[in-house]
Amino acid sequence: MDEQLNHAPCGFLTLTEDGTILSINHTLLEMLDYPLQQVQGKHFHSILTVPAQMFYQFYFVPLLIKKQKVEEMFISLKSISDEEIPVMVNALQRKRDGKIYSDCVLFPMRNRSEYENELLIAKKDAEAALVAKHKANAELENALKELKEKQEKLLDLNEQNQKYKIETKKELELARIIQKTSLTDPIETDEIKIESFHKASSELSGDIYGFYQIDQHRYGIILLDVMGHGISSALITMSLHSLFQRLISYGLNTNIVMKELDQHLHSLFQNNEEARHYCTAIYLLIDTKKQKIEYINAGHPPAFWRDKNGEQHELFSKSVPIGMFEGIEYKTNSVTYSKGDRLLLYTDGITDLIGANHLSGLFSENRATSISTLKDSIIASLEHQKSEKQRSDDQCLILIELK
């Protein structure tokens, strides 16, 4: 990198096709307070906040794939001290020596964001005050006249509402039991052990998983996270569940399973764009005879894979979430494993509470314990953090031990 670009008044970096940082200028390193050796060769996710990682996968990557460029996209970087740094990104995809690279220019936006927020707050306060004044005058004129009538109606409505709440609670509880019943039981054979954890943020969950023994040596494991929460997301998960259970049990290839799920989501919302939901997903097909794992990660948080030597890897997303763009071809990745290796699949509700680094640390620290003990440690961390946060997402994880 030449001297002028290295010290330019803006950040600059070059990414490989899979998001690895190939080069980064001195200006951006100073902005992040990172030494070069801790960033170069790492995935772009390593310098992004957790929301920005999802934004990068859902919008940045698809735009590069479709238009070969990104213009004026706002995203948040994460410094070495975990400080959030808002930046505007322009990117251009190019091809050199048969490989695809993306050059990115990043402009810090701290001051602009602060000024814009102050203006927006002031505008909203003024508008709210004006609306409140007009509303108060109108309500004052009609309040005494309507009060008696509304009191009578309120008593009647309250009685109806209580009845509706009781009936709705019973229906939601029944739906929760049905959804929980659809989750698969743990698997343990001479070749593999699979355990899971699932906790909804409300009565119903947008997270769903399944793992199935296809034949003597093959196992299919899938984890999905539908956008949003509550009843709408839960209905979609149950629709996807019946499909992926059938597809996986047939022993179909990973790319076919993901393609069928993608087409199913598109067919659900083909006539109603406003109701459209997308879904992140990761699917693993494990062959214990060949000691081989074939997988597709569609916009999902990267799974952790720890080999018997203690080295930890991440199965990053290389595809967009299902249901987002039509006609996407999902490419299968494959790795070989050794006996004693472990895998951890999870949804972002886990890392939203305890952080990806802490989850990775727990996975590493408990390498000598059983996966049941590891699962208990993760649940304990979640419960500890939950008491400090008002709201949490659905939580789901799958632990796999390859014997």
* CATH code, 22: 3.30.450.20
208 and 262 housed in the same domain: yes
Give the pLDDT confidence score for residue 146 in this predicted structure.
Answer: 85
The model's pLDDT over 161-178, given as tens digits with 9 standing for 90+, comes to 787 777 766 666 666 666
Cβ–Cβ < 8 Å for 395, 207:
yes
Name which residue leads in pLDDT, 46 or 156: 46
Number of C-alpha atoms within 13 angstroms, CB side, residue 97? 3
Total domain count, the chain: 3
Q: What is the DSSP letter of 322?
A: B
80 and 43 housed in the same domain: yes
Task: Give the end of a domain, one of 155, 182, 209.
Answer: 182
- Look up tokens 């001051």; give the residue: 111
284 and 353 housed in the same domain: yes
Give the pLDDT confidence score for residue 233 in this predicted structure.
Answer: 81
**CA gap 97, 257 in Å, rounded:** 34
* Average pLDDT of the segment spanning 212-237: 89
Q: Which residues contact 198 (CB under 8 A, 6 or more apart)?
A: 180, 183, 205, 207, 209, 394, 395, 396
208 and 96 housed in the same domain: no
CA nearest neighbour of 322 among 248, 252, 389, 254 = 254
Q: How confident is the model at residue 229 (pLDDT cuts 50, 70, 90)?
A: low
395-402 sheet: strands from edge to edge: 187-188, 192-199, 395-402, 342-346, 303-306, 312-315
Q: Is the pLDDT of residue 29 over 90?
A: yes
Task: Give the end of a domain, one of 162, 182, 202.
Answer: 182
245 and 225 housed in the same domain: yes
Give the pLDDT confidence score for residue 347 in this predicted structure.
Answer: 95
The model's pLDDT over 99-116, given as tens digits with 9 standing for 90+, comes to 999 999 999 987 765 666
**CA gap 135, 173 in Å, rounded:** 40
**CA gap 242, 182 in Å, rounded:** 9
Which residues lie across from 106 on neighbouring strands? 11, 89
The model's pLDDT over 265-281, given as tens digits with 9 standing for 90+, comes to 999 887 676 767 889 99
End-to-end CA distance of the chain: 47
User: Domain of 343: which CATH number?
Assistant: 3.60.40.10
Cβ–Cβ < 8 Å for 353, 386:
yes
The model's pLDDT over 321-348, given as tens digits with 9 standing for 90+, comes to 999 998 899 999 999 999 999 999 999 9
Give the pLDDT confidence score for residue 114 in this predicted structure.
Answer: 63
Averaged confidence pLDDT in the chain: 89
246 and 104 housed in the same domain: no
Domain that includes residue 174, residue range: 116-182
163 and 93 housed in the same domain: no
Q: Is the pLDDT of residue 389 over 60?
A: no
Is residue 317 exposed (0-12), middle (13-18) or buried (19+ Cβ within 10 Å)? Answer: buried
Give the pLDDT confidence score for residue 387 in this predicted structure.
Answer: 61
Give the pLDDT confidence score for residue 154 in this predicted structure.
Answer: 82
Give the pLDDT confidence score for residue 92 in this predicted structure.
Answer: 95
Q: What token pair was written down for 329?
A: 């071809």
Give the pLDDT confidence score for residue 241 in this predicted structure.
Answer: 92
H or E element at residue 213: strand 207-213
Task: Give the end of a domain, one of 57, 85, 108.
Answer: 108
Give the pLDDT confidence score for residue 120 in this predicted structure.
Answer: 73
> Mind giving me the DSSP string for 115-159?
HHHHHHHHHHHHHHHHHHHHHHHHHHHHHHHHHHHHHHHHHHHHH
Q: Cβ–Cβ contacts within 10 Å for residue 167, how many? A: 10
212 and 320 housed in the same domain: yes
Q: What percent of the chain has pLDDT over 90?
A: 65
341 and 240 housed in the same domain: yes
Cβ–Cβ < 8 Å for 278, 227:
yes
124 and 169 housed in the same domain: yes
Q: How confident is the model at residue 391 (pLDDT cuts 50, 70, 90)?
A: low
Name which residue leads in pLDDT, 18 or 308: 18
121 and 229 housed in the same domain: no
Give the pLDDT confidence score for residue 127 in this predicted structure.
Answer: 81
224 and 328 housed in the same domain: yes
Name which residue leads in pLDDT, 393 or 12: 12
